[in-house]
Amino acid sequence: MSIFVTILVGATVGALLYVGRGFAAWTLGGALALVGWAFTGVDSPWLYGASLVALGGLATLFGRPDLRQRYVTARVMPIVAGLLPRLGETERIALEAGTVWWDGDLFSGKPDWRKLLAFEPQQLSSAEKAFLGGPVEELCAMLDDWEISQRGDLPEEVWAFLSEHRFFGMIIPEEHGGLGFSAIAHSAVVTKLSSRSIAAAVTVMVPNSLGPAELLLHYGTEEQKRHYLPRLARGEEVPCFALTGPEAGSDAAATQSEGIICRGKFEGEEVLGMRLHWRKRYITLGPISTVIGLAFKLRDPERLLGDEEDLGITCALIPSNLPGIDIGKRHDPLGVPFQNGPNEGRDVFVPLGFIVGGRERAGQGWRMLMESLAAGRSISLPALSVGGSQLAARVVSAYGMVREQFDTPIGRFEGIEEPLARIGGLTYLMSAARTLTAGAVDAGEKPSVLSAVVKAYLTEGMRAVVNDAMDIRAGAAICRGPRNILARAHVAAPIGITVEGSNILTRSMIIYGQGAIRCHPFAFEEIEAVAAEDRERFDRAFFGHVGFVFSTATRALVLGLIDGRLVRLPEAGSVGPWFGRLTRMSAAFALVSDACMATLGGKLKRREKITGRLADVLAWMYLASATLKRFCDAGQPERERPFVEWACAHALFQCQEALAGVLANLPNRGAAWALRPLVFPIGRNLSPPSDAQGAAVARALLDDAGARDALTADIYRPPAEEAGLGRLEAALAKAVAALSVEAKIREAVRAGDLDREPGQRLAERALEAGIISAEEFERLHEAEEAREEAIQVDAFDPKDYPGLRR
């Protein structure tokens, strides 16, 4: 019997590898049959001959497409159809809206690293550099985040400056009065502003993200573009986009906002239009907006436009001063004072010409939103998160050297090294992902899956980084006031995690839910073939898919055994092993992903803990890819190596643990048992970053000014006299200048030339003993005074305290 089993396996493998030729299946099956014969010791030419005949039949059946489709595919197709998820219209539109880029390579199990390394992101133009170095720097200097928090709004002169310099028109082309900036420039502006004021950054990024300008650029009529785009660019019109409502949060398609096609009067004339009713909330810039981008379901009960009654989600531009609109109230999002609030419309009548793109675009709003979402989601919140993280890294690396306890800078303690390492490693990784994703947008991609990755994982990264920074600054971090520049970022972190699709939903449903279908080499094609009842198309996709499973299983096993060492990438240099490990992880991810889809079928999208872990693997592979790309593009500078080593070790460990979590919880325990030796043939051999790797990151932050500058290159650096980071930076410079003097004194104490005494008296004794010069004593004194000033916290008069805005 074992001979028959071996022959069957041989023939099947030949077919599953989709050779399409009977001879190849015969050869493979025959070889396996000989092996089986040798192992079983059966000596029967008759039995072997019969086996070869059976093999020939199987090879012919699988090797000839016409026979395979008639006798195999025809029976397999209904079975697979029952396993595949059924796509609703909104899901299909969402899947078709974006493009597949590097996420497709990660799903393939065999990423093409040379393609990634050869990709050249667009660089900042001279005009964009001038804007960052001019108006953006000037704006940052105008911003006082404490004053803004107490006022509850940006000062009037800031609003005027934003309009004058067309900050609201970064994505609007120059021919329409905007700046026409690239995605990387847009991202750089938001990054720098967010290091200065979250409220200002949000105010600038929202009009340049998903909203009226973005929709008009792609779908608006020429008349709408001529009317609105110049006004939006100049700040004469303030836009908001009203999507979220009480009944429709993450499930935006469930909106109950409604428009009814009817005739009515508008500005004294009877026209064909829409009578609108809506309730929206959490709308940024809503309280001060002059034009509302409104998403609603449009109905035509009288069939005035055609035969359909339910036309679908529609987008329109509604002037906020029309009768029936209630707007102007404000939410208070955790005390961060950007303009945000609810608005309602009751019985608001407008002409059909207010639909974005005109009446021909009625019912196309969902497609518009899905096609436009990727660009804004790739830029705004990732940039804000990187700005907050770079600010935290710069603050605590200075504070770690300036703040002393037990006569030692606190950054030298291992307990501080640990969070410092996380701050440095995650900030480097996040910055790399920001620039790579913006580069993809500039290259014409609409990375719907990767935009969700950077939105979710960079906002979570900011929360982790800022939390660690708060712990390091300790008491100085929890006392609010002008000196505390981290408190606002700490408070604001949950806002970024919640908006543009909450991170819980994004992780558990969007990233893998869309990725598994859209980025998989065969899954979407199988779904489309089943829907079209196209047997030939399904045959190609299905047998390609099965061959893909066998190839990824082999690759996962082999690369797992040798830790990815077969992957050769000479241009990667010393970081080559990380590319190999990521390739191994990609193969393992592809295999486990297919197993989950095969065993759970359409139920997989409801197993959100499993899909969330699979999303973790995809996300951390992308973040590690971006890290290596940044390092290689920069010429592999040695001072950045500690950040890269830490980030890659952290990312790969997260991938490993997520895959282990999937296998531990996969309902089909037989499949999990079979997968484990393929995915982890030598066990879970990856470890989190070591203490030595963490110490190297901390030393780079504390001791290497060049590494620190490179890590925080995208943020605003205030003048030395400004409370907060300015004075902290000044104190750091003086503390570094005094290090050699302090070393002299410590050596004298160790040698017994000086008795140990408190700091200032010890310096005086060293001066008296001639161990240090008067100039060196003055350096010490200036450093101590600067330290003392930099570590102060704010305190308020009891009479003023009740009036502070919380």
Rounded CA-CA distance 417/9 in Å is: 55
Are 389 and 464 in contact by the 8 Å Cβ rule? The answer is: no
Rounded CA-CA distance 101/378 in Å is: 13
Cβ neighbours of residue 237 under 8 Å, at least 6 residues apart?
Answer: 228, 231, 290, 291
Rounded CA-CA distance 209/84 in Å is: 34
Q: Which of 416, 404, 398 is nearest to 486 (CA)?
A: 398
∠ at Cα 405 (400, 408), nearest 5°?
A: 70
3-state DSSP call for residue 556? helix
Give helix then strand counts, H and E, for the chain.
Answer: 35, 9
DSSP state of 172: S
Instruction: Encode 233-258: b = buried (16+ Cβ within 10 Å), e = exposed.
Output: bbbebbbbbbbbbeebbeebbebebe
- Break the chain down into helix, strand, coil percent, rounded to 5: 65, 10, 25
Are 616 and 650 in contact by the 8 Å Cβ rule? The answer is: no
Any catalytic annotation for residue 137? no
Determine which one of 500, 526, 645, 722 is catalytic: 500
3-state DSSP call for residue 538? helix
| Residue tagged 């030298």 (tokens) | 412
For residue 325, report the phi and psi dihedrals to the nearest 5 degrees: -100, 130
The three state secondary structure string of 690-736 is CHHHHHHHHHHHHHCHHHHHHHCCCCCCCCCCCCCHHHHHHHHHHHH
Rounded CA-CA distance 205/187 in Å is: 9
β-pairing verdict for 258-266 and 291-299: parallel
Cβ neighbours of residue 26 under 8 Å, at least 6 residues apart?
Answer: 11, 14, 55, 56, 59
Are 12 and 62 in contact by the 8 Å Cβ rule? The answer is: yes
Rounded CA-CA distance 69/62 in Å is: 9
∠ at Cα 154 (152, 155), nearest 5°?
A: 110
∠ at Cα 227 (226, 231), nearest 5°?
A: 105
Q: Which of 389, 498, 509 is nearest to 91 (CA)?
A: 509
Cβ neighbours of residue 742 under 8 Å, at least 6 residues apart?
Answer: 780
Cβ neighbours of residue 14 under 8 Å, at least 6 residues apart?
Answer: 24, 25, 26, 27, 28, 29, 59, 62, 63
Q: What is the CB neighbour count within 10 angstroms for residue 734?
A: 19
Q: What is the CB neighbour count within 10 angstroms for residue 556?
A: 26
What one-character-per-residue DSSP string does 233-280 give?
A: HHTSS-EEEE--BTTBSS-GGG---EEEEEEEEETTEEEEEEEEEEEE
DSSP state of 409: E
Are 83 and 601 in contact by the 8 Å Cβ rule? The answer is: yes
∠ at Cα 180 (176, 183), nearest 5°?
A: 145
DSSP state of 309: S
β-pairing verdict for 239-242 and 269-284: unpaired
Q: What is the CB neighbour count within 10 angstroms for residue 80?
A: 19
Give me the active site residues, please: 500
